[in-house]
């Protein structure tokens, strides 16, 4: 039964990761270092790819877009977490909370779609090398990236509209350090069973679907290269292994968080750290900085900056 909605909630209280001051300082240091690494690592990749004509292949074009998305994705949550940990101010306005939820899902789902496109790019390059330049032409790459952003926007609009339809008139304490669907929907003053299933089928199935497509694509690549053990194929195999590690780090916590109704089990606040902070921090190392071509380009950029 719905409760009285005469006093609508105007702000939420984000409890964060801990109430202990010592742990809050520890978390502040961790988030500050991680966010700095995300910004510097991904900005370095963007500048390197944009300034070096040798890094003009579709793979590096997609990696440059991934770096931009990672910066946006982490910036949705990290700056406010840092301010809250340092100042102790945990309140966030209702409108600000909904805006954070919108941009979190907008950028996060766009990254899921982009990672799927990147797996398709690697599959085409390794399994269909003679058709690679025709399939992954620059116009096609732009269209795929635009489709990723459009898909993320549509997904996020659906999530946000469903949340705005719910009445919030009672508890306003969110057991997390950012605004997201699972902890907020538990505070609604109404029966949310249908809404929970709709949101789980939206976010959860997108996460699971993209993850299965990614695993299948890398499995096909593995089946293609295992019979031809050469230096190039071992390099491709090593690259695919690192990519699988990256997508596992990002997708598995998302599937655990979103592929179930919000009221079944509480979502661990520490699980959220994996896909909001750790994954964007590791992506530059896993996807790009292991590349010999990128390291050479960065070295040339460094030398040109010194002269």
Interval 153-164: pLDDT, tens: 999 999 999 898
Which pLDDT does position 2 carry in this prediction? 40
3 state DSSP class of 16: coil
Mean pLDDT of 9-14: 88
Residue-level pLDDT at 81: 92
State how beta strands 11-14 and 173-174 pair: parallel
> What DSSP letter does each residue of 106-124 carry, written as one string?
HHHHHHHHHHHHHHHHHHH
Give the tokens for residue 189.
């003053």
Q: Decide if pLDDT at 235 tops 80.
A: no
The Cα–Cα gap between 87 and 33 comes to 18
Assess whether pLDDT exceeds 50 at residue 5. Answer: no
Looking at residue 3, its pLDDT comes to 43
Of 25-34, 58-67, 168-177, 223-232, the least confident: 223-232
If one compares 273 and 264, the residue with the highest pLDDT of the two is 273
Cα–Cα distance for residue pair 229/223, rounded to 1 Å: 12
pLDDT at residue 225 above 60? yes
Alpha carbon dihedral 114, 118, 119, 124, in 10-degree steps, equals 140
Question: Which of 249, 296, 280, 262 lies closest to 175 in space, CA to CA?
Answer: 262
Residue carrying structure tokens 């929970």: 196
How far is Cα of residue 277 from the mean position of the Cα atoms in its chain? 9
CA distance 233 to 224: 9
Query: Dihedrals φ, ψ of 42, to 5°?
Result: -75, -35
Q: What local confidence, expressed as pLDDT, does residue 95 receive?
A: 92
Tell whether the model's pLDDT for residue 144 goes beyond 80: yes
Alpha-carbon distance values, 278 to 123, 138, 224, 265, 285 (Å): 26, 31, 31, 23, 11
Give all strands of the β-sheet with 91-93 in edge-to-edge order. Answer: 91-93, 11-14, 173-174
pLDDT for the residue numbered 289: 64
Asked if the model's pLDDT at residue 4 lies above 50, the reply is: no
- Tell me the residue ranges of DSSP E strands in the chain: 11-14, 91-93, 173-174
Model's pTM, two decimal places?
A: 0.89
Query: What are the pLDDT digits (tens) for 73-114?
Result: 999 999 999 998 888 888 999 999 999 999 999 999 999 999
98's tokens? 């909904």
pLDDT of residue 21: 81
Q: What mean pLDDT, rounded, does the chain reach? A: 84
The percent of residues above 90 in pLDDT, for the chain, comes to 33
**232 or 124, higher pLDDT:** 124
pLDDT tens profile 160-210? 998 988 888 878 888 888 999 888 888 888 878 888 888 878 888 899 999
11-300 carries CATH number 1.20.1070.10: yes
């Amino acid at each position: 039964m719905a409760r009285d909605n005469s006093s609508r909630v105007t702000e939420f209280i984000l409890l964060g990761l801990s109430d202990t001051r010592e742990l809050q300082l520890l978390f502040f240091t961790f988030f500050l270092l991680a966010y700095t690494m995300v910004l510097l690592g991904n900005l370095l990749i963007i500048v390197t790819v944009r300034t070096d004509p040798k890094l003009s292949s579709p793979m590096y074009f997609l990696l440059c877009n991934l770096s931009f998305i990672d910066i946006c994705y982490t910036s949705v949550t990290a700056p406010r977490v840092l301010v809250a940990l340092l100042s102790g101010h945990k309140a966030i306005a209702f409108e600000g909370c909904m805006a954070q939820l919108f941009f979190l899902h907008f950028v996060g789902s766009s990254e899921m779609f982009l990672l799927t496109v990147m797996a398709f790019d690697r599959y085409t390059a390794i399994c269909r090398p003679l058709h690679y330049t025709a399939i992954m032409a620059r116009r096609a790459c732009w269209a795929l990236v635009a489709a990723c952003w459009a898909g993320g926007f549509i997904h996020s609009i659906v999530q946000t509209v469903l949340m705005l339809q719910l009445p919030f008139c009672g508890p306003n304490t969110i057991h997390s350090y950012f605004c997201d669907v699972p902890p907020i929907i538990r505070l609604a003053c109404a029966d949310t069973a249908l809404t929970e299933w709709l949101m789980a089928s939206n976010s959860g199935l997108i996460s699971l679907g993209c993850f299965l497509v990614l695993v299948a694509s890398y499995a096909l690549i593995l089946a293609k290269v295992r019979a031809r053990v050469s230096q190039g194929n071992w390099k491709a195999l090593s690259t695919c292994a690192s990519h699988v590690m990256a997508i596992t780090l990002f997708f598995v916590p998302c599937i655990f968080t979103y592929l179930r109704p919000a009221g079944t089990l509480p979502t661990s606040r520490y699980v959220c750290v994996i896909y909001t902070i750790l994954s964007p921090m590791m992506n530059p190392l896993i996807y790009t900085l292991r590349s010999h071509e990128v390291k050479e380009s960065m070295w040339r950029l460094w030398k040109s900056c010194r002269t």
